[in-house]
Every structure is written in structure tokens, then in C-alpha cells.
Amino acid sequence: MATNIDILSPANRAGRPSLVSELRAFGGVVRKEWIIFRRYPSWIIAMFVWPVIFPAVYIFTARALAGPNGAGMAIFNQTAGTTDYLGYIAIGTIVWMWQNVVLWNVGFALREEQLRGTLETNWLSPTWRYSFLLGSSVTQLVTMCVFLTVSALEFWLFFGVRYNGNLGLVLLVILAAIPSIYGLGIAFASLVVTAKEAHTFVFLIRGMIMIFCGITYPLSVMPGWMQGVSRWLPQTYVIAAMRQAALGGASLTELLPDLVILLAFGVAWLVIGYLLFSVMERRARQTGAIGQY
């Protein structure tokens, strides 16, 4: 009846993890996160309702500012270089929502484990601890791909946004944006475990993105010092590149400068995230603070 398991084989010894066992553990984390995600049906609202109602406020405001006979549109065209304010706002807000969800989900992934009382237990297993954070990022990434697709379709359906760009280039921008958006989430997760109740920090970071990255307006309307700040935020480049790729019909050559900057930011944030995680992990082991609320 029983299968023969060689408990001395490196792959089966819990104390000496191999690459295969690490991958299995990583797969386990991804699966666990996926089960938790499906367990709470409020994701349906997050997935289908928010993409419509969040940009709606800005879109209706822009509609009011444009005026009943489009008197404000000419001015917007001069400052933003486009009259397509619908697409302009839709893309700005979708990037903001993406980063916001990553901050809440990936950023609070370890904190959730801490609150549930499973963080210490998990960390006692001989698994690379970074897997726990990467695993939640992968699950989140899958759901966000669906979210981005649903949002794009809903913008088209409800607001009449028309995309005249290249889908391949849009996907390329999304790929280039992933390291910096998730790197920030991973770095944030380590801070949250240390700082515990860190909701205010989420408000701060997403507020900065909302103010400086031009989610609903061209950067040129901000004062010079604010434009200087915006250049240090990767989301500025994600929004700009995405607008060019999806609405402006830009070519790869035109997008290349933004893509290179995005990848540089991505590498930097992933390294910062890993370093912060290592520091937090070492500190937690030394102080025994990992189980404290």
C-alpha cells in the first residue's frame, strides 16, 4: 500500500531544503493565498465595481470642467496635448488603483499572517522566508492581470474609452512596471511587520502617488518643485508610458526611455525590498518581536 519514500533523499529532508522543495513550498504559499482570496466574495466588488466607480468621480469632474459646449476642452488640449480626457483619466486612475491594491495586499501580507498567528509557525519551517512574500505577490499579480483586463473593458463599455494603441506595447509597459510596483509593496511589507499598524503609511504613499504622478492631469500644471518630486516616482513613468502606448499610438522607440527608467526603478525597489526584508527578519529573530502585535 505505501509508497516508498526515501527520507534520506535530500529532496525529502525538511531540514535541508533543495531547489525542488523550495519550489514546492513556494507553490504551497501561492495556493494558500489563492484559496484565501477566493474564500471572501468581496473580491467581486473589488474586481468589477471599483474600476468603474473610482475613475467616475474624476471623469464626471472633467466632464463638468469641459463644459456643456466643450469650452474647457481647448484649454485641456493645450496643457495635456490631447482631448481624450476619458482615456487620460482612466489610465491614470487604473495605475493608482493597481499600486493601492498592491500596498494593501502585498504590503500587509506578512502582517495578516502575524495577526492570524501563523507567521512564527511558518517561519519555523525550513523554507526560504522570502518565498512567503513572493508567493503572495504572485497570487496578487494573477488577480491584478484580471483586474487590469476587466478595467480596460469596463472603461470601453461604460465610459466610451477607445484604445488606438498597440496591445503588445501596453503589455510590455505592464511587464516593465511590475518590478517597481511590487518591489515597493515588498519593501513596504517589511516595514509594516516592524511598525505594526501602518495604515497611515499607506495613505501617505498612495497620497503621494495621487498628488505627484499626474493621475488626472498633465504634470506641467504643477509647480516646478512638484514636477521634480514626480520624476523620482516610478508610477509617473508607468502612467506616461501606458498613456502613450494605449492612447497615443507610440512606437517602441518612443517608449524606450520610459521603459528603461522603469526597469531601473524596478531593480532598485526589488533590492531595497530584499534588503529591508533581511534586516527585518534578522531584527525579528534577535528581538523575538515577530509574534508581538
Partner 1 sequence: MGTNDQSLSRPNFFSQLRLLAAVAHKDWLVYWRYPLNATSSVLQPIVWLVPIYFMGLAFSINGKAVGFAGYSGTTNYISFALIGMVLGSFIDAVFWGMGFSLKEDMNTGVLEANWLAPASRLLIMTGRTFTSLTITTITSLLTLFISGSLFGFSIIGNLGLAILTVLPMLVGLYGFGFAFAALVLVLRDANTMVDVSNFLVQTFSGTSYPVTALPRYLLPFALALPLTYGFDAVRHLLLGTRTLLPLPLEIGLMLTFMLIMIVFGIWIFRRLEYRVRMKGTLGTH
Site for partner 1, rule CB under 8 A: 42, 45-46, 49-50, 53-54, 56-58, 60-73, 75-76, 79-80, 200, 203, 207, 210-211, 214-218, 221-222
Cβ 136 to partner 1 shortest distance, Å: 20
Return all residues near 132 (Cβ < 8 A) that are at least 6 apart. 29, 109, 110, 113, 122, 123
Cβ 151 to partner 1 shortest distance, Å: 16
The Cα-based distances of 10 to 2, 7, 19, 21, 109 in angstroms read 20, 8, 10, 9, 30
Cβ 58 to partner 1 shortest distance, Å: 7
18 vs 61 by CB, closer to partner 1: 61
23 vs 71 by CB, closer to partner 1: 71
Closest alpha carbon to 194 in 266, 261, 95, 276 = 276
Q: Where are the beta strands (DSSP E) in 199-275?
A: none
Cβ 206 to partner 1 shortest distance, Å: 8
53 vs 252 by CB, closer to partner 1: 53
41 vs 288 by CB, closer to partner 1: 41
Report d(CA 208, CA 155) in Å as an integer: 25
**Phi, psi (degrees; rounded to nearest 5) at 181:** -70, -45
Cβ 40 to partner 1 shortest distance, Å: 8
175 vs 226 by CB, closer to partner 1: 226
> Residue 170: what residue type?
V
